């Protein structure tokens, strides 16, 4: 019997039992078709060995050499460090997780062939947890004759398992398993390879494959799949927008008394950009169709004022409004601002977070349910089951990409319980490149505050090598003794919050010894929410001169007296993150500085990033550069957004496909809804509902 890949469960494959099925389900893989479209996201080029003198940070390399020394480094938990030499140079192999047997295997004199990503470490170039093979003395080992696919994975599934599973599914495809080619009628018109051929090629590139094209993602076989994936996303977004337009929402066209009173009490005038955005929002919320608007504005552009005006419009129309922020300190900051502005207007602003407990929590929940709380501000606590609104008609979500999709969906359901769909205003201080906004967020209307309030001074950005660190410490001392405050941001160590915390603690201890006359504080992800908030509040109150922190301060800390930001190992961070961190200073009237410390030598990409930071403060220019350098998958946490998660396509690299995608989508939406359904099922799985929040 012929296997229908879209219906056959993964359990039909050899080696897929209950445990592996559960792990596959974590990646929404249930059928053989799901598995077939779980595509490699990159390739390792193991077709030749690279001399150690030629390796560069950021490269994935195959190398060979002899271990000349090994030791366990000191620290809370030591790492095993092996120094691998060949005739041209050396590199460090670092293992954070190891045992006695592995130490024996990696003894001095052992010859290894290793595969992995080269990174900068504290002692030069290194590879963390490389794949490796022990080589038998005197016996040569052939290199691979094809590129090795690397699959997105989840804990518990190795790359070897993914390859064995894909081997089986590809064999079924060769034997004639049924796989619908939904673009077959377009194959000749657009010179497309067959779907089956493209999948075979991408999963297992043949020895004569154009390696440069494959590594760049521009091979015709990859482009065939990218076209179909972008098409599925475009169709999904078009349908999503249509479904949102079909829902009912309350008209928020209340009297202007409150907003005029609010405007009169502000100590500053709105910018032209703020006024323009408010007009766009008001036009939306006065309609019976739910607003779904994305508000972009650089750090300090005045998005909170816009949110406040919008919330007042809901209240003056007889409804409640809610504002949700991802961190306690950011939510509390919004709460204090709104309370200060709204209390004189006779409005009640409720505060709900994990810290609100007992009698206070019960009273707050009652006020929300009865409607006595006009505005509700909080963290993720807002979407807990116990929270019931009387008539919440406007939901403002700040930095929405920092919430999990399930969390955002749960809060939206609070409005749906009222038999109408609340209007939504989604705010972000991370400017979204136009290419990404028009693709990933095509179902949203866009507003941009592209003007900063008058009086804000530019931040001077300085790029320095790490050997100038002592000079910077002296500058910190000078600034703080003059009454200013400073941030010292510690290195980003990918995929290990624990290591970030250890690095921050070590830096804190070093700086405390160097700056005995200053009051230092420490903030990192391992602190409890209460301790973290206490440290941040102490810094905000001026009780701390220098805050040593990981990137927990990236969003939501408003300390006008802070005029100096030091970012260690800035070459390890992306542009958008560097821009967000820099935005923590320059919020007062004093000239502010951001120092980007880097560890030489720099890779070409890192050099470009730092030059962009030095040359511009424009968040939109930075976002465009970041998108070009890093790709769309990491920006704004789009891997969380369901619709934003791309398997093989890239909105920047494949932008030339977008006009074709749009034309094909229009035809399919009009003439062939069955094919539209099939494409969405194949590429989006459960992602559509998440696009609504």
- 293-350: pLDDT as tens digits: 889 887 778 889 999 999 999 999 999 999 998 777 778 888 988 999 999 999 999 9
Report the domain count for the chain: 4
- Bridge partners for 461 per DSSP: 594
Q: Is residue 470 part of a domain?
A: yes
Residues 297 and 342 in one domain: yes
Q: Is residue 634 part of a domain?
A: no
**Dist. CA 435–CA 300, nearest whole Å:** 24
Omega of the bond leading into 566 within 30 degrees of 0 (cis): no
At 318, list the tokens.
């007889």
**Dist. CA 557–CA 582, nearest whole Å:** 11
**Dist. CA 410–CA 384, nearest whole Å:** 8
At 34, list the tokens.
């799901």
Q: Is residue 87 part of a domain?
A: yes
Half-sphere exposure of 355 (CA within 13 A, CB side): 15
Q: Where are the beta strands (DSSP E) in 73-207?
A: 80-86, 89-95, 111-121, 124-128, 131-134, 148-150
Residues 383 and 470 in one domain: no
Give the single-character DSSP code of 430.
Answer: S
**Dist. CA 392–CA 414, nearest whole Å:** 8
Maximum pairwise Cα distance, the chain: 88
Q: Is residue 62 part of a domain?
A: yes
At 616, list the tokens.
């511009």
- Bridge partners for 432 per DSSP: none
User: What's the pLDDT at 638?
Assistant: 36
Residues 324 and 470 in one domain: no
End-to-end CA gap in the chain: 43
**Dist. CA 150–CA 163, nearest whole Å:** 9
Residues 182 and 286 in one domain: no
Residues 403 and 445 in one domain: yes
Residues 419 and 497 in one domain: no
Q: Is residue 242 part of a domain?
A: no
Q: What CATH number is given to the structural domain containing 106?
A: 2.40.50.140
**Dist. CA 277–CA 290, nearest whole Å:** 17
Residues 201 and 174 in one domain: yes
Q: Is residue 638 part of a domain?
A: no
Closest to 274 (Cα-Cα) out of 447, 406, 426, 145: 447
Residues 445 and 336 in one domain: yes
Exposed, middle or buried by CB within 10 Å (0-12, 13-18, 19+), for 36? buried
Residues 268 and 211 in one domain: no
Is residue 315 within 8 Å of residue 374, measured between CB atoms? yes
Q: Is 427 helix (H, G, I), strand (E, B) or coil?
A: strand
CB burial of 617-629 (b: ≥16 within 10 Å; e: otherwise) equals: bebbbbbbbbbee
| Last residue within a domain, chosen from 564, 590, 616 | 616
User: What's the pLDDT at 33?
Assistant: 94
Q: What CATH number is given to the structural domain containing 395?
A: 3.40.50.300
**Dist. CA 143–CA 45, nearest whole Å:** 10
Closest to 350 (Cα-Cα) out of 358, 189, 369, 670: 369
Q: Is residue 31 part of a domain?
A: yes
Q: Is 15 helix (H, G, I), strand (E, B) or coil?
A: coil
Residues 386 and 503 in one domain: no
**Dist. CA 208–CA 213, nearest whole Å:** 12
| Last residue within a domain, chosen from 449, 479, 514 | 449
Helix (H) or strand (E) holding 320: strand 320-324
Residues 119 and 180 in one domain: no
Closest to 408 (Cα-Cα) out of 292, 309, 284: 292
User: What's the pLDDT at 408?
Assistant: 47
Residues 479 and 563 in one domain: yes
Mean predicted lDDT score pLDDT of the chain: 84
| Last residue within a domain, chosen from 113, 143, 173 | 143
Give the neighbor-by-neighbor strand order of the sheet with 292-297.
Answer: 349-352, 375-378, 320-324, 392-398, 423-428, 292-297, 445-449
Q: Where are the beta strands (DSSP E) in 412-523?
A: 423-428, 445-449, 459-465, 485-489, 520-523
pLDDT beneath 70: ranges in the chain: 1, 74-77, 400-418, 430-431, 433-440, 455, 491-502, 529, 552-557, 627-645, 685-693
Q: Is residue 231 part of a domain?
A: no
Structural domain that includes position 605: 459-616
């Amino acid at each position: 019997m012929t296997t229908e890949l879209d219906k056959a469960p993964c359990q039909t494959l050899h080696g897929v039992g209950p445990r592996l099925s559960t792990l596959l389900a974590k990646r929404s893989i249930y059928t053989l078709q799901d598995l077939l479209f779980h595509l490699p996201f990159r390739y390792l080029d193991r077709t030749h060995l690279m001399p150690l003198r030629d390796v560069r940070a950021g490269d994935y390399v195959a190398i060979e050499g002899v271990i000349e020394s090994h030791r366990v480094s000191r620290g809370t938990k030591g790492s095993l460090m092996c120094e691998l030499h060949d005739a041209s140079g050396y590199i460090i192999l670092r293992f954070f997780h190891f045992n006695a047997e592995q130490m024996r295997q990696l003894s001095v004199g052992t010859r290894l062939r290793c595969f992995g990503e080269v990174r900068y470490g504290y002692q030069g170039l290194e590879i963390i947890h490389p794949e490796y093979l022990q080589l038998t003395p005197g016996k040569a080992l052939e290199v691979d004759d094809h590129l090795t696919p690397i699959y997105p994975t989840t804990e518990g599934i190795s790359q070897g398992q993914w390859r064995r599973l894909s081997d089986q599914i590809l064999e079924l495809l060769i034997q004639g398993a049924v796989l619908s080619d939904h673009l077959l009628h377009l194959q000749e018109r657009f010179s497309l390879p067959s779907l089956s051929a493209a999948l075979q090629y991408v999963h297992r590139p043949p020895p004569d494959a154009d390696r440069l094209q494959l590594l760049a993602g521009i091979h015709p076989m990859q482009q065939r799949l990218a076209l179909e994936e972008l098409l599925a996303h475009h169709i999904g977004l078009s349908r999503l927008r249509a479904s949102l337009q079909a829902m009912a929402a309350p008209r928020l066209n209340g009297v202007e008394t409150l907003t005029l009173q609010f405007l009169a009490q502000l100590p500053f005038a709105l910018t032209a950009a703020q006024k323009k955005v408010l007009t766009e929002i008001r036009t939306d919320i006065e309609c019976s169709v739910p607003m779904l608007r994305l508000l972009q504005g650089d750090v300090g552009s005045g998005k909170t004022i816009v949110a406040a005006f919008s919330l007042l419009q809901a209240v003056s129309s007889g409804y409640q409004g809610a504002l949700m922020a991802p961190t306690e300190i950011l939510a509390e900051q919004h709460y204090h601002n709104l309370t200060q502005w709204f209390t004189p207007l006779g409005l009640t602003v409720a505060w709900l977070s994990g810290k609100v407990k007992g009698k206070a929590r019960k009273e707050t929940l009652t006020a929300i349910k009865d409607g006595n709380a006009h505005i509700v501000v909080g963290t993720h606590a807002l979407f807990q089951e116990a929270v019931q609104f009387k008539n919440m008609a406007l939901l403002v979500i700040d930095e929405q990409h920092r919430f999990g999709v399930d969390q955002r969906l749960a809060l939206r359901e609070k409005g749906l319980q009222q038999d109408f769909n609340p209007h939504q205003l989604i705010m972000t201080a991370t400017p979204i490149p136009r290419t990404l906004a028009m693709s990933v967020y095509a179902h949203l209307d866009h507003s941009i505050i592209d003007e900063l309030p008058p009086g804000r001074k530019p931040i001077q950005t300085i790029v320095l090598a790490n050997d100038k660190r002592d000079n910077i410490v002296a500058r910190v001392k000078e600034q703080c003794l003059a009454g200013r405050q400073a941030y010292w941001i510690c290195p980003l160590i990918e995929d290990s919050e624990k290591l970030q915390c250890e690095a921050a603690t070590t830096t804190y201890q070093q700086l405390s010894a160097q700056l005995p006359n200053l009051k230092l504080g420490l903030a990192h992800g391992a602190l409890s929410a209460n301790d973290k908030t206490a440290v941040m509040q102490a810094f905000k109150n001026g009780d701390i001169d220098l805050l040593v922190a990981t990137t927990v301060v990236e969003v939501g800390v408003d300390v006008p007296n802070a005029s100096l930001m030091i970012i260690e190992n800035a070459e390890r961070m992306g542009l958008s993150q560097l821009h967000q961190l820099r935005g923590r200073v320059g919020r007062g009237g004093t000239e502010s500085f951001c120092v980007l410390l880097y560890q030489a030598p720099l890779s070409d990409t890192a050099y470009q990033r730092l030059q962009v930071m030095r040359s511009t403060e424009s968040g939109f220019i930075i976002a465009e550069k970041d998108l070009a350098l890093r790709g769309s998958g990491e920006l704004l946490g789009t891997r969380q957004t369901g619709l934003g998660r791309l398997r093989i396509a890239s909105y920047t690299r494949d932008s030339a496909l977008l006009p074709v995608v749009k034309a094909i989508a229009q035809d399919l939406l009009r003439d062939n809804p069955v094919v539209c359904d099939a494409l969405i099922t194949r590429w989006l799985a459960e992602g559509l509902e998440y696009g609504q929040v």
